[in-house]
Homo-oligomer: A and B are copies of this chain.
Amino acid sequence: MSSLLSTDRWHRAQAWIGHSVALVDTPALVIDLDAMDRNLHRMADFASQRGLRLRPHAKMHKSAELALQQMAHGAVGVCVQKTDEAVALAQAGVGDVYISNEVIAPSKLQRLAHAARTLRTRFALAVDSVHGIDALAAALAHAGVNGRGTFDVYIEIDVGHGRCGIPPGDAAVALAQRIASHPVLHLAGLQAYHGSAQHQRDAAQRAASVAQAADAVQRTRQALQAQGFAVPLVTGAGTGTFQHEASSGVWGELQCGSYLFMDADYAANEADPGAPAFEHALFVKSAVTSRSAQHAVCDAGHKSHAIDSGLPAVAFPGGLSYFNGGDEHGVLRPATADAALPDLGETVWLIPGHCDPTVNLHDFLVGVRGGLAAGVVERMVRVDARGGIQ
């Protein structure tokens, strides 16, 4: 039995290459490739100028094609959050994948270990428990991966987000000792990502959060070094704060993901002085399917774009506000007194509130060159790890 994705829909989608963006069926998730390329270069240049490693977070786009494009422009590899993502990207040829998250289930770790043994990809994993370290070592042994120091692990510390990770300071020592007890593992450094700081609107507040995180990292590093453990690298940072991690002298690797596409939520942050500016490069192409005197209804609801970080903004036509119309509809009303409602069939371009879970709703992204108004479909970007949540 074949799936809708692998047959009918995918082939229809491929048929769009070379056609005008006007012909792309709606709703569709569209990349403005010109804007994306500018974002790609801006971040690559920033990391290069600062002498920092860039390891973009591929949980955002879940696409091997985009990961390889980032690596072709200097990224050392990518991060992911899930075993499914790591395996899917590795199978599609991405050579360096770090799971910046805890994986402790034996079945998943055996998949990972099997991939590490059979694919050309270099994997790494974050850990925050003895349980997880032992489970990883057992899975690697089971798969026959046993070269000394061949599998990199990063100890995750909670630098303020309050989710995964051990407390900063001495607690890392016990984990480092446990890692050292498994010769196949190599303590590659610390995972230190302040998730909630990314979305603090105030630039000074974000700077203060990263300063606290830097202090937490330093205390942990000192505790480890005092016990003779090297800490080769500190990895973390996101699109909302990377400028501060970069300036801290503490982080050696940046994990920003959303910069490539930008979303309405990140755009709502007060800009950091001097930081590179990123453009919206991800849009939902939608169309009006119903009209009343007071409102227009478009065909994109929250099965087309995630709304965890707010409803989408209307990029075009101007003067419209988007209201929640449920899973499959959006309700458009004039935002200003002189705004006209779009007609039946008219195209409406939306900027998603949050790119990561929006991309995860789609099997492919429509890459358009030459602008949204009159551009041409240049690439269909497969979302290789769509739905890869395990």
Residues of A that sit less than 8 Å from B by CB = 1-6, 8-10, 23, 25-28, 59, 81-82, 84, 87-88, 91, 101-105, 107-108, 128-129, 131-132, 158, 162-167, 195, 287, 289-292, 295, 297, 299-300, 302-304, 306-308, 324-329, 331, 344-345, 356-357, 360-363, 382, 384-390
Cβ–Cβ contact A387 & B5, under 8 A: yes
The chain B residue with its CB closest to the CB of A328 is: B81
* Residues of B with C-beta under 8 A to A166: 292
Cβ–Cβ contact A25 & B129, under 8 A: no
- Copies of the polypeptide in the assembly: 2
> Closest CB-CB distance, A55 to chain B, in whole Å?
17
Cβ–Cβ contact A105 & B163, under 8 A: no
Cβ–Cβ contact A164 & B289, under 8 A: yes
The chain B residue with its CB closest to the CB of A60 is: B327
A384 to B388, CA, bound (A): 17
> Closest CB-CB distance, A194 to chain B, in whole Å?
13
* Residues of B with C-beta under 8 A to A195: 326
**From B91, B129, B287, B304, contact of A105 by CB (8 A):** B287
* Residues of B with C-beta under 8 A to A389: 27, 299-300, 303-304, 328, 361
Cβ–Cβ contact A360 & B303, under 8 A: yes
The chain B residue with its CB closest to the CB of A330 is: B163
Cβ–Cβ contact A104 & B344, under 8 A: yes
The chain B residue with its CB closest to the CB of A295 is: B162
Cβ–Cβ contact A3 & B10, under 8 A: yes
> Closest CB-CB distance, A195 to chain B, in whole Å?
6
Cβ–Cβ contact A163 & B329, under 8 A: yes
**From B299, B331, B357, contact of A302 by CB (8 A):** B357
> Closest CB-CB distance, A5 to chain B, in whole Å?
5
Cβ–Cβ contact B105 & A297, under 8 A: no
A25 to B328, CA, bound (A): 30
A349 to B363, CA, bound (A): 28
A303 to B356, CA, bound (A): 9
Cβ–Cβ contact B158 & A292, under 8 A: yes
Cβ–Cβ contact A290 & B165, under 8 A: yes
The chain B residue with its CB closest to the CB of A289 is: B102
Cβ–Cβ contact B164 & A4, under 8 A: no
Top 10 closest pairs, chain A to chain B, by CB: A6-B6, A164-B290, A102-B289, A81-B328, A131-B344, A4-B88, A102-B290, A25-B390, A302-B308, A3-B6
Cβ–Cβ contact A162 & B331, under 8 A: yes
* Residues of B with C-beta under 8 A to A129: 290-291, 344
Cβ–Cβ contact A390 & B132, under 8 A: no
> Closest CB-CB distance, A108 to chain B, in whole Å?
7
A295 to B167, CA, bound (A): 13
Cβ–Cβ contact B328 & A3, under 8 A: no
Cβ–Cβ contact A87 & B8, under 8 A: yes
* Residues of B with C-beta under 8 A to A307: 308
> Closest CB-CB distance, A332 to chain B, in whole Å?
11
Cβ–Cβ contact B1 & A382, under 8 A: yes
Interface pairs (22), CB distance under 8 Å:
A3-B363, A3-B382, A3-B384, A4-B385, A5-B5, A6-B6, A8-B91, A25-B390, A104-B289, A104-B345, A131-B345, A158-B292, A163-B325, A163-B329, A164-B289, A300-B389, A302-B308, A303-B360, A304-B389, A327-B356, A328-B389, A363-B387
Cβ–Cβ contact A26 & B105, under 8 A: yes
A338 to B324, CA, bound (A): 39
The chain B residue with its CB closest to the CB of A384 is: B4
